[in-house]
Amino acid sequence: MPMRKKADVVIIGGGIVGTAVARELARFKLDITLVEQHPDLSMGTTKANSAILHAGFDAAVGTLKAKLNVRGNELYRAWQEELGLDIKLIGSLVVATDEEGLLVLEQLHERGRQNGVPGLVLLSREAVLEREPHLTPATLGALFAPTGGIMDPFGVTLAFAENAVRNGVEVLTECKVEQVEVSDDEVVGVHTSQGFIEARYIINAAGVHADDISRSANDHSFAIHPRKGEYMLLDKSVGNFVRSVIFPTPSKVSKGIVIAPTVHHNTFVGPNALAIDDKEDLSTTAEGLAAIVAGAKSLVPGVPLNAAITQFAGLRAVADGDDFVIRPATGVRGLIHAAGIQSPGLTAAPAIAEMVVDILRSEGLSLHAKIDFCPENPARALFRDQEAPEKQKLIAENPLYGRVICRCEMVTEGDILDAIHRPCGARTLDGVKRRTRAGMGRCQGGFCGPRVTSILSRELKIPIPAVRKDTAGSFLFFDKIRGTHEVKDHE
């Protein structure tokens, strides 16, 4: 029986933008439903990107990108503590290796000043190489941004979503929007795979699919042109090969091949930039990987690429005109786009959310602050991050914290159960992985994969063949072909 329900606002898309909007709207007395087509949040563009907190000197002066990047960077720093966000302000460097590059640095420096980026400074060759000794000897200088940094996009998305849920927002996963229903040029609701949701305001944060959502409401005012980027992730054993986020001087289509640490102590290189037609194409290619290897080597010749543990690709949701599309829909009242969110969208997301709230207000939605809004999430304590006495205490309270399931990343069964049973909990193998890092280490789940699969089966009360990797149909195992048998659980 499909549901029929009602909300004041429906947010389409559970990525960084949709969840940031949900959390901002949760400050007000509203019924809010966020719908996500996949079994977990953060499954689109938010899942695979450079995970960089951009300082804000790249985007052209006066663009939404420029304005929202700088504001978003500020907001992340302001919210870091209350939401327990995994952000590290390690600083970023744009490195010039020729005279032309030095001119670009000066332009970026000036642009950054106009965009309002704090603390930018041009570094001499010696100062750069002292900071980053592995950089190419061809280095001539760099632009240093102290507010540049790195973050965990999935963790941040989850923190936004969890806080939204704790403040009354409803999150529906595996709920795919089929069509936005419009009557007399006004939004009246959305048809989803789980039924109709009546709503007068809809936020379109559907990433690479935002233009499809828009068209379903008869608004053909923009199109999304996915641009693929491929990445390579290196093992933690590489250590502090680089300490900052390192960019080459930028090209017209992208900021170039970056090398940077991740908040989880790995190192990554990438991305390239390739315009594609297929919105689901997350394949990596030998040519693409060769291009990022070449790009990385031109900046840091000794980058230990033999420590690669995985490759992946992500899609940038590029709109016509190249700037963000954050505005009411054309010709339809009640539909607000937060679309075309490519880089620096991750950094801009909190500011995008603020802007969406302002648009809703001017579109006639009454916003009354909730006095009992709680901006904090309870601390999410992973076992491995605790000091010895806290570890003892955790095991004493719950012995499952003493059972290590993922040995590469030291993830215990207690951590995994918490990841499954928290608000917006894990429903898939990759969901557990992204919440706890189980399976993200050097053995890439070779050891813990079968064990986590069994735990998911037990906790979600589903058979093993119903456990999935990440997407709705990504089943991992089958019953044996020669007939199945009941196995009694003796535990």
Partner 1 sequence: MNEKHYDVVVIGGGPAGLAAALSASEQGAARVLVIERDRELGGILQQCIHNGFGLHRFDTELTGPGYAERYIKMVKATPSIDVLLDTMVVDLMPDKTVLAINSVEGLQKITCPAIVLAMGCRERTRGAIRIPGTRPAGVLTAGAAQRMVNMEGYIPGKKVVILGSGDIGLIMARRMTLEGAKVLAVFEIMPHSSGLTRNVVQCLEDFNIPLHLSHTVTAIHGRERITGLTYAAVDENLRPLPGTEKYLACDCLLLSVGLIPENELSREIGLNMDALTGGPVVNQERETSLPGFFAAGNVVHVHDLVDFVSEEGDIAGRFAAHLAQGQTNVGAQEFSVTPGHGVRTVVPQKIKIDVKDPGTAKLYLRVAEPQRKITLSVSSGGMTLLEKRFPVAKPGEMIVLELDASQLEKVVGDVIVEIKR
**What are the CA-CA distances from residue 421 to residues 393, 414, 416, 466 (Å)?**
20, 11, 9, 18
Residue closer to partner 1 (CB basis): 1 or 487:
487
Are 422 and 162 within 8 A, CB to CB? yes
CA distance 363 to 342: 25
* Residue 133 contacts residue 285 (beta carbons within 8 Å): no
CB 180 within 8 A of CB 202: yes
Q: Which CB sits closer to partner 1, 127 or 293?
A: 293
User: Using an 8 Å Cβ cutoff, are 292 and 230 in contact?
Assistant: yes
Q: Which residues are 234's β-sheet partners?
A: 267, 308
Dihedrals phi, psi of 177, to nearest 5 degrees: -80, 125
State the minimum distance, in angstroms, from the CB of residue 40 to partner 1. Answer: 14
Quote the crossing angle between the two packed helices 16-25 and 345-362, to the nearest 10°: 40
The least distance separating partner 1 from the CB of residue 461, rounded to whole angstroms, comes to 17
What backbone phi and psi angles, to 5 degrees, belong to 32? -125, 135
Nearest approach in angstroms of CB 293 to partner 1 is 10
Which residue lies nearer to partner 1 by CB, 137 or 478? 478
Q: How far is the CB of 402 from partner 1 (least distance, A)?
A: 4
User: What are the CA-CA distances from residue 292 to residues 80, 197, 273, 295, 415 (Å)?
Assistant: 31, 44, 10, 5, 35
Q: Could you give the CA distance from residue 11 to residue 1 in angstroms, rounded to a whole number?
A: 23
Site for partner 1, rule CB under 8 A: 232-233, 237, 280, 282-286, 288-289, 308-312, 388, 391-392, 395-396, 399-404, 407-408, 410, 442-447, 449-450, 453-454, 464-465, 468-482, 485, 487
In angstroms, what is the minimal distance from the CB of 381 to partner 1?
Answer: 16
Q: How far is the CB of 301 from partner 1 (least distance, A)?
A: 20
Annotated active-site residue 368? The verdict is no
Provide CB contacts within 8 A for 164, sequence distance 6+.
19, 22, 23, 25, 26, 32, 34, 171
Active-site choice (54, 109, 209, 337): 54
Residues known to be catalytic: 54
